[in-house]
Structure formats: C-alpha cells, structure tokens
A = this chain, B = another copy of it.
C-alpha cells in the first residue's frame, strides 16, 4: 500500500463518518426516533429532550452533556461497570495523549530528517513510501538518533505506569463506594454455596444446608435457597409467557381490525402445527387463552415437583448482615476443601442456574477442555487469517482471479480496493467469533453472566492479539518472502524487522477504519433505527412489543473491551516505530467515550472487569517493550540492552498492583461492608429477589413457597 492509497482510505472513511454524523443530526431531531436515540432517559422516565420546552434537541448538546456528565452521573445511570469502562477509555486516552505530545514533535522530525533510506533505497524496487519516512524504519542503523526512540520507549512506559496506577486506585475507590453504599443490595447479603456433599440419611438438602449454616452462624444466618433443576419448569414458564405475548398481540390485532374494518372486527386466527404453517386453523384469542390456562396448572404442578424433588448440590445462603455475608464468602467452611465451597453471590439477574450445581472437578475438567478448544481455535484460525491477509492484496487477487484485472486497473477502484480489502475481510472475520467464545465460557461452569463475559473477553483478546496482530504481521511477511526464508532460514529476523514498519500502514488504516466507520455507525445508530421502524410498522402491536423493539442492548463489554485492547496493543506497539498512529488511536478512544450513552448494562459486577483489563494493558505494554527491544536490536543500536529493565519493571509493576489491589476485586473487604445502612434490610425481599421468575408465579405467595419446599422436604424424609 502506498501513501496515496492510505490517504484515499483516510479520506473515504472520513467522508463516510461525516455523512453518518449528518444523518444522525437529522434523524435524532425527529420525535419519532426518540426511543432509539434517548432510550436511557425514557426508561428512567426523564424527558428525552434536555431543555424540555418544545425545543428540538441539538446533537452537540448531547456531546456537551456527555462531556460534562460526571462519573457519579454515569454510575447512577449505568452502574460501576460502565464507569470502569470509561476509566479504561480515559486512561488509554491519557496514555496516548501524553505520549503523543512528546513523541510526535520529537520523533517525526528525527525520523524524517535522517537520510539513510534515501541514499540506500534509491536503487530498490520503490516499495518505500512517504509514510514510511516518518517512521523509525527510516533511521540509519547504529545511528545515535536511535537514542531518541529508546528514551521515548521509557517515556511511554512511565506514562503508562503512572496512569494505570492512578486508574487502579480510582477503580478500587469506585468499587468500594458502590459496595459501601447505604442502599440494600440483595447480592451483598447472600453467598453462593456449591459442592455440597450428599445429605446424610433422613435429611433433605434444605435441612442439611440449614443445619450446617445455623451451627456456624447462629446469630447472622437467615435462610437458604437450594438450587433446583429448573430446566422443565423454565420451559413451561417460557411457553406460558410466549402464549401471553401472543394473546396480547392477537387482542391488539382484533382491536385494530374493529377500528379499520368491520365494526365487529375480524377475529385473528392461526394454525396450530409446525411454525404456524400447518395444522388446524383456530381462533387465536380462544386458543391462547386455553393454552395459558393449561400452562398455568402445569406450571404450578411442576413448581412443586421442582422445589421438592429437584434440589441440587448448591444453594444460596442469606445472612442478616453485610459483614457476615462478606466474611462467609471468603472463609473456608469444610475440612475437605472441595466441599461446601463458597463465593460472593452474583446478582440474581446474572446467575447462570444450570451451572451452579456443577461439581468442583467437573468444572476443572470443563475448564481444561475449553482451554484446549480455545487454544486450537486460536492456532488454527491463524492459517485462514494469514491466507486472507496474504491473498487479499490486489496484486495477489489479480494473479489468482485474472478476470478482475480490467476492473482493478481503474485507478479509483484500485486505490479503494487496495485500501479496504484486507481490513474488511478481517473485520467480518472477527465478528463471527465472540458468541462462540461466550458459549464456551459458559460451558466452563462459571456461575455468573458477568464472569462468563470476562472469561470470553479474555479469550477474545488472546485470539485478537495472536491472530490479528502477530498473525498479520508475521503471516503477511512470511507469505511475501517464503522463498527467501527457504534459501536462508536466518533471514527471518531481518524480514520481521522490515515487516514491522511495512505493516504499520496496514494497522494505521485498520485503526482509522474502526474509528471512522465503526464509531460512525454506532453513533448514528442507523441499524437499530431501521430495525425499530420496520418492527414498529409490521410486527409490534402492543406497548410491550414496542418497548422490546427499542430497548437498547447491553454494552457488550465481552467484545468491546478486547477489541479496544487490540487497538491499544497495536497503537502501543507502533507508537515509537510509527508515531503517526498515535493521533488515530487517541481519536478512537476519545470518541469511544461519547458513544456509550445509549446502552443499558444488563448486570453489575462492581468493577470486577478492571483487574482483567489492567493485566492485559500491562501485557500490551510488555509486548511493546519487547518489540522495541527486538527492533532496536535489528537496528544494531549499541545501547539496546538498556531496554531490558523495562519489561522487568512492567512485571514488578503488575505484581505490585496485584498485591495492592487485586484481592479486593475478588472479595469484599470487611471495612467496606461494615458501613452503616440507610435502613434495616427487608430480608424477605432480599430472599425473594433470588427466586427465579419461573418459580415465582403470582399465585404462589410467600408462605406457600416456603411451605412447598418444607412440606415436600418433610414428606420426602419419611420415604
């Protein structure tokens, strides 16, 4: 790729971005779109337009609002996890800005004024381009100018240490503030107990759990909820909810038909067979009413069976004080460490019930299996990605598909294709993966959604770094110069050295594309807008259906964080080799900061994502430092070993941070949990918040729920 195609790519993305922003400005002022653009405000019952006095909203006011809204507002609106993500973005932005203000004015002139490449490459094949003049590749071997690059490595590292340290401290405070809040949060009063041994003869699970914890915590133990196998009851409940929705839909259709058609209306009908396409034609309202009645009685029967007979080796245990729960979640309870294992209870909404009763060793084995599968995925995706990045250069395409030659020779198309082809292939490729990784993470037996997301995020990060960053760099190079390596295997080092600056342009474009097109699409919310209007027009009949159509999704941190981490890894690694990448990276993280107002987080883990992010940022830093060591070595710089202390320093930094902060992210510190509350918690409410909806039908009142469990327990103990 030469300088022209890079500029073209930049220009086209920028134009696309401007168009999307204009669209956004226009669309977001239309009242009919307010649900898509301001869902968060509507969900909270606020007026979507700031001023409220009939004035249509200025989109820049929205940006101003985003900039001016304090962290406390973010936490109040979207929770600690979102605030932590903002800390991540601003920390990375800080690193890039502080690095950029020193590196750009210093390193670019230092590189551009060196005349090594000019003299030595005059006779070469002209692969050298204007962009590369601004990179470290332009510096002569052994040149004293390399000192500037070495010192810059130190500068970037120390900026990163300082800001990461501050961020960890800050996130720890955010977490502490949330955990010591005077509000009652049910998850702070409960612990999750797993690996309960088989109950002794003549005792039910519930009696076993109750007597066990009552003996240890005579004063603070409240109640337990034994985890049950809800597969069947959930199925019935989902069917019931489905019928209810369909009934509401059918009634809305009927009501509408009264208004538009005959005054008595047309009763909607449906077929009972496969997908509503086959079978008998029936009156929908009657049919669904009957189905609902059937399901309700089936549900009640199944609820009793589930509560009584499907108790499993796991339980939620509730305490009357936060300190007792926090302390219990950290203490070893049983002499045999693999029984009665305890942990902080996750929020009720993010519990993965089917995973709770999984045995300790089953979890271990599942984890190992999943790791093996992920490792295989990472390794074997490398081959296709390597091929994609090697094949989708225009020169290669022309060789392989000769019929595109005439088209590809038109200058405009050629430049656009050259600029975008490999990047688009890569981005589509990566979009397929996250769901698979999340599925695998859940299969590990992880008990909570947020933990599974973190696990998936970690896997996705390793995948990205290995396949996109290392895969593209080495893969592209290998393909280009396989023959050279065949002749002399040692030349691989030199090839890597030349390939790093060459790939800089690729990754520069990659970052720019992610920024302009990715964020442009996200900010404009074109896709959700179109889907919403289509649904509103043709599908949604009831209020609930409409709300479901515009309610925004989760932040999706499981994919967002690793792809951001990939960008910062790339930007860091190239920050010295080709400092021109820094402004693009900085823009990427600056805009990311604005784009998140519309999401509603679907869980709260009180910032447990941060240590995960922190570790990977430090890993990116180490990769950067090692890369710089290698690259300085290739430049035959005499003082290259001076970089060696840096990776060591990074490891010490990581160790230090982990020792100072990490355990607080695994467990709740007691000094935090012992803060006073606004009111005495309503323990019954805390307890009930954990009853899954399928077991919590309106008809079954509190006493019955308790009774059902105890009655069946008692009757069982006589069997």
Contact = CB atoms under 8 A, between A and B. Distances in A.
Nearest to A220: B219
Nearest to A672: B335
Q: Which of A219, A337, A364 has the most CB of B within 10 A?
A: A337
A435 to B, nearest CB: 31
Contact of A669 (B219, B326, B328, B335): B335
Given A216-B323, A338-B659, A659-B338, A670 B360 contact: no
A362 B706 CA distance: 54
A671 interface: yes
A670 B333 contact: yes
Contacts of A76: none
A446 interface: no
A219 B216 contact: no
Nearest to A337: B663
Contacts of A336: 172, 660-661, 664
Given A338-B660, A663-B337, A674 B332 contact: no
Nearest to A658: B337
Contacts of A212: 671
A669 B338 contact: no
A54 B663 CA distance: 65
Interface in A389-418: none
Contacts of A331: 326-327, 330-331, 667, 670
A339 to B, nearest CB: 9
B674 A337 contact: no
Interface string A651-662: 000001001111
Contacts of A664: 332, 334-337
Contacts of A67: none
Contacts of A660: 336-338
A340 interface: yes
Contacts of A216: 323, 670-671, 674
A215 interface: yes
Nearest to A219: B219
Interface string A302-342: 00000000000000000000010011101111111110100
Q: Which of A328, A334, A360 has the most CB of B within 10 A?
A: A334
A668 B332 contact: yes
Nearest to A169: B336
Contacts of A176: 335
Interface string A153-181: 00000000000000000001100100000
User: What is the total number of copies of this protein in its complex?
Assistant: 2
Interface string A662-690: 11100111111010000000000000000
Interface residues of A, number: 39
A671 B340 contact: yes
Nearest to A655: B364
A69 B461 CA distance: 61
A675 to B, nearest CB: 9
Contacts of A662: 337
A330 B330 contact: yes
A674 B215 contact: yes
Nearest to A323: B216
A337 B671 contact: no
Given A338-B660, A360-B659, A667 B326 contact: no
Q: Which of A332, A364, A662 has the most CB of B within 10 A?
A: A332
Nearest to A329: B331
Contacts of A173: 335
Contacts of A670: 216, 331-333
A670 B217 CA distance: 10
Nearest to A665: B337
A172 to B, nearest CB: 6
Given A219-B219, A328-B327, A333 B671 contact: yes
B663 A332 contact: yes
A174 to B, nearest CB: 11
Interface string A333-360: 1111110100000000000000000001
A115 B465 CA distance: 60
Nearest to A662: B337
A337 to B, nearest CB: 4
A157 to B, nearest CB: 21
Nearest to A338: B660
Interface string A106-138: 000000000000000000000000000000000
A669 B327 contact: no
Contacts of A364: 659
Given A216-B323, A332-B669, 18 more contacts: A172-B336, A173-B335, A216-B670, A219-B219, A326-B331, A327-B328, A327-B331, A330-B330, A332-B663, A332-B667, A332-B670, A333-B669, A334-B669, A335-B669, A335-B672, A336-B661, A337-B663, A337-B664
29 contacts: A172-B335, A212-B671, A215-B674, A216-B671, A216-B674, A217-B323, A219-B219, A326-B331, A327-B328, A327-B331, A330-B330, A330-B332, A331-B667, A331-B670, A332-B664, A332-B667, A332-B669, A332-B670, A333-B671, A335-B671, A335-B672, A336-B661, A337-B660, A337-B661, A337-B663, A337-B664, A338-B659, A338-B660, A364-B659
